[in-house]
Amino acid sequence: MPVMNMVQALNNALDEKLGADPDVLIFGEDVGYFGGVFRVTDGLQAKHGLTRCFDTPIAEGGIIATAIGMGAYGLRPVVEIQFADYILPAFDQLVSEAARLRYRSNGEFWAPLTVRTPYGGGIFGGQTHSQSPEAIFTHVVGLKTVVPSNPYDAKGLLIAAIEDDDPVIMLEPKRIYNGPFDGHHDRPLKTWAGHPKAEVPTGLYRVPLGKAAVVREGRAVTVLAYGTMVHVALAGIDEAGVDAELLDLRSLVPLDIEAITASVRKTGRCVILHEASRFGGFGGELSALVQERCFDHLKAPIERVAGWDTPYPHAFEWDYFPGPARLVTALRRVMEY
């Protein structure tokens, strides 16, 4: 089976969808001839033609607006916002238009667009190339938000997102595009080679939206994570020496509430890990859901490990980034409660 990194897996998903469906087309800043600043669309214009994968003006609101109009016509546009930090000029289009079109028109019009955007830190991007804005999208009714953590899921989730008839935002953890990262920034870089989830089948397959994956089974505590943090969580669990169950949520909206509640009811403890700032973060929603649905099973307070409530500081990247050491502390606290 072919071995791919996450960039190659995403490229392969786009390549195969372009080949299979003439209504799929790709556009965004620098995605055409050049193939995107992270190379995700490399070679697609040359292979599929100018009108299938092309560059846009630097106008994120215009990109999303154009995609919504194309979706209303009947196409399935896939657009790239170069960094998730740059998506905010398009916020009105996503919130007031893409997310609401089906509802307000009583199903006459809808916007089946897919928005791909690299997010997250750990690349010395400073505060405008490092943010994790998932919670501002999960709060918006009518939007779906997914986050892959490995090449296999990246391809399958992207294909499912493109085929979905509702707007989907796919946040791509750019720190793990080229290899898994466990948060130990001072250790040698790893590639995806040898990782079981780097084996990516050719041909179209789907990772369904709304299904979490159990990455590691355990009985003592449930860890909820997504994106880069799945790899950080594995390292932290290992270093804490606890029998933790790790769920990779993969899809935040729709959320796999059944997998979460089943795991926490089994373990009785829950630690939530995300890179985004803590206050008002998606961890707050997860914590509330677990409390509402698993209270009688809880043996310890729910813990959240997250980025600090500061902008992402360039010089203090690794102080901000919630690495394995902070997870270890939280895991020990819930186990000793």
Partner 1 sequence: MNNQPRLTLHIPEPPARPGDHPDFGGMKLPKAGETMRPDVDAAEPTMRDMPFGLIRVLDDGHHAVGPWDPHLEADVLHQGLRAMMLTRAFDDRLFRAHRQGKTSFYMKSTGEEAIAVAQSLMLDARDMCFPTYRVLGWLMARHYPLLDLVNQIFSNAGDPLRGRQLPILYSARAYGFYSISGNLGSRFGHAVGWAMASAYKGDDRIALAYVGEGTTAEGGFHEALTFASVYRAPVILCVTNNQWAISSFSGIAGANETTFAAKALAYGIPGLRVDGNDFLAVWAATQWAAERARLNLGATLIELFTYRASGHSTADDPAKYRPADEALQWPLGDPIERLKEHLIARGEWDEERHAALQSALEDEVRAAVRAGEAIGTLGKSKPELGSMFEDVFKEPDWRVIEQRREMGV
Q: Which residues are designated catalytic?
A: 129
What are the distances in angstroms from CA 274 to CA 32, 239, 317? 33, 18, 15
| Residue 218 found at the interface with partner 1 (CB under 8 A) | no
Query: How big is the site for partner 1, counted in residues (CB under 8 A)?
Result: 47
Interface pattern 181-210 for partner 1 (x via CB under 8 A): -----------------------------x
| Residue 17 found at the interface with partner 1 (CB under 8 A) | no
Q: Which of 21, 30, 39, 65 contacts partner 1 by CB under 8 A?
A: 65
CB atoms within 10 A of CB 318: 14
Q: Interacting stretch for partner 1, rule CB under 8 A, among 49-57, 117-125, 211-219, 232-240?
A: 49-57
Residue whose CB is less far from partner 1, 56 or 114 = 56
The radius of gyration computed from the CA coordinates of the chain, to the nearest angstrom, equals: 19
Q: Which of 20, 33, 105, 128 contacts partner 1 by CB under 8 A?
A: 105
Q: Interacting stretch for partner 1, rule CB under 8 A, among 12-20, 164-172, 232-240, 328-336?
A: 164-172
Residue whose CB is less far from partner 1, 56 or 222 = 56
| Residue 106 found at the interface with partner 1 (CB under 8 A) | yes
Place of tokens 């897996």: 9
Residue whose CB is less far from partner 1, 2 or 208 = 208
Residue whose CB is less far from partner 1, 101 or 221 = 101
Distance in angstroms (rounded) separating the CA atoms of residues 182 and 314: 20
Distance in angstroms (rounded) separating the CA atoms of residues 262 and 231: 22
Q: What share of the chain is helix, strand, coil (3-state, %, to 5)?
A: 40, 20, 40
Place of tokens 């085929």: 163
| Residue 34 found at the interface with partner 1 (CB under 8 A) | no
Residues with Cβ within 8 Å of residue 272, at least 6 apart in sequence: 223, 224, 225, 283, 286, 287, 302, 303, 304, 305, 306
| Residue 316 found at the interface with partner 1 (CB under 8 A) | no
Considering the complex, what minimum distance in angstroms separates the CB of residue 185 from partner 1?
37
Residue whose CB is less far from partner 1, 39 or 100 = 100
Interface pattern 262-301 for partner 1 (x via CB under 8 A): ----------------------------------------
The residue among 116, 93, 28, 102 whose CA lies nearest residue 72 is: 102
- Extract the tokens encoding 204: 């179209």
- CB burial string 280-304: b at 16+ within 10 A, e below: ebbbebbbebbeeebeeebeeebbb
- Extract the tokens encoding 291: 């409390």
Interface pattern 79-98 for partner 1 (x via CB under 8 A): ----------x--xx--xx-
What are the distances in angstroms from CA 104 to CA 71, 127, 276? 16, 36, 31
Residues that bind partner 1 (CB under 8 A): 25, 51, 56-57, 59, 61-62, 64-75, 77, 89, 92-93, 96-97, 100-110, 141-142, 144, 164-166, 210, 253-255, 257
